[in-house]
A and B are shown apart, each in its own frame.
Chain A
Amino acid sequence: SQKIEQNSEALNIQEGKTATLTCNYTNYSPAYLQWYRQDPGRGPVFLLLIRENEKEKRKERLKVTFDTTLKQSLFHITASQPADSATYLCALYNFNKFYFGSGTKLNVKP
């Protein structure tokens, strides 16, 4: 089955800097890949979707890249704010199933 790797160590950055989170996967490339935000005790909230034929997607301060050769997606938050502190999950979609990574916790310090 699909294996998804996200950095399990928390990412600590200073407010205003750019946060970059990584999602690597093994096996087959997904039809598309999504990024979600999860706050403690809450359900994941959709942020961005990128398809296998797209290289980059942007939404406000968020940017996602997708490299099917490297089997990797990068998620960037520019001009980060303390309110961006959360766990960020990447999810791969294939065959009517979403596989989630374990998430990376982002801490943005004021």
Chain B
Amino acid sequence: EPEVTQTPSHQVTQMGQEVILRCVPISNHLYFYWYRQILGQKVEFLVSFYNNEISEKSEIFDDQFSVERPDGSNFTLKIRSTKLEDSAMYFCASKLENTGELFFGEGSRLTVL
């Protein structure tokens, strides 16, 4: 069964460093998302991406964040100058159609020290 894969599964970084979280969505999907979940809290929308551009972003997704789909398969989330409060689980998700289910990856746990 096709699945969304994310790397790394866990990353520890120092405050102020840059991190890149990588995702390989399901190959024929067209819509891509990043969500985050701070421990014990709800899944929060960060950004959606369609047709090689951002289609929606939340107020959380400020200039510190950026997304790219550099080669048609990978979908990356870059976090510049990380802060302690960026510590969370980051989930990538993709879907085939505009009205369809989201397929989530297993997440990348980011710990900022």
Contact = CB atoms under 8 A, between A and B. Distances in A.
B101 A102 contact: no
B33 interface: yes
Interface residues of B, number: 27
Q: What is the predominant secondary structure among interface residues of chain B facing chain A?
A: strand
Interface stretch (A11-19, A43-51, A63-71, A78-86): A43-51
Contact of B48 (A38, A41, A46, A96): A96
B107 to A, nearest CB: 5
Size band of the interface chain A makes with B: 20 to 34
A25 interface: no
Contacts of B43: 38, 44, 89, 100
10 contacts: A32-B99, A42-B107, A43-B105, A43-B107, A96-B50, A97-B48, A97-B56, A97-B58, A98-B102, A102-B42
